[in-house]
Amino acid sequence: MAVREIPLTNKAKILDAASALFLEGGVSALSVRAIAANAGVSTIGIYSHFKGKDGLLEALYIEGFALINAAMKVDSSEDPHVSALAACERYLDIAENNQAHYQLIFGDAGADYVPSEAARAASVEAFGGLLSFASILLPEDASAGMKQKKALEIWAMLHGSVSLKRHSVGQLMPAMDWRGAIMESLEKLIS
């Protein structure tokens, strides 16, 4: 029996088209006309779903942090270290498979885009998820400061590694097993 693909909604088509254009040319490539043409919808569809380019950036930004937050969820029924390493693997998957979202939420939004309160709340929620993640690795009586420090150490290693791989250092060492090296370093940090 053949599996039937579920067609994308116009909203999903628009988000996919915007992601693709963002990867090709950054924020400057995101014009309502270009997105509409790439998505196969009218410009009116973009305005009705997102209220224009800023609303679209907002949706991608919030979606990006939601992806990060979901990736960092840990399974409390598993060994904490195993669950933490699995969450780190999922984070790396998000960075690799959702590059436009990742770039947008970590600095390539352009000077004209200012995240709204809802977008900032999404980033705070993602950091809260990372705090929960870090908490399973520490003794129950660990202070809030210790949890924050551990969360920042893990996030810095993940984000720094992703960034280095994508930039000039990645070009200098193309044959390197980046993922293996990152996970080896994380195993040391998480232990």
Domain boundaries, the chain: 7-51, 56-190
pLDDT of res. 6: 46
The answer to whether domain 7-51 has CATH 1.10.10.60 is yes
Task: List the Cα angle 110/112/118 in 5-degree steps.
Answer: 90
**CATH class assigned to 56-190:** mainly alpha
pLDDT of res. 153: 92
Dihedral angle sign, alpha carbons of residues 169, 170, 171, 176: positive
pLDDT of res. 1: 46
pLDDT of res. 46: 87
Count the alpha carbons within 13 Å of 152 in the hemisphere toward its beta carbon.
Answer: 6
The first and second tokens of residue 153, run together, are 């150490």
Stated as kind and residue range, the H or E segment containing 127 is: helix 117-135
Q: How would you write the pLDDT of the chain (191 residues) with one tens digit per residue?
A: 454 454 568 888 888 888 888 888 777 788 889 999 988 988 888 888 888 888 888 888 899 999 999 998 888 788 888 989 999 999 999 998 888 888 888 876 666 778 889 988 998 998 888 888 888 889 989 999 999 999 889 989 998 888 887 776 656 666 667 788 888 988 998 88
pLDDT of res. 141: 92
| Domains 7-51 and 56-190 alike in fold | no
Q: Cα(157)–Cα(37) distance, rounded to whole angstroms? A: 38
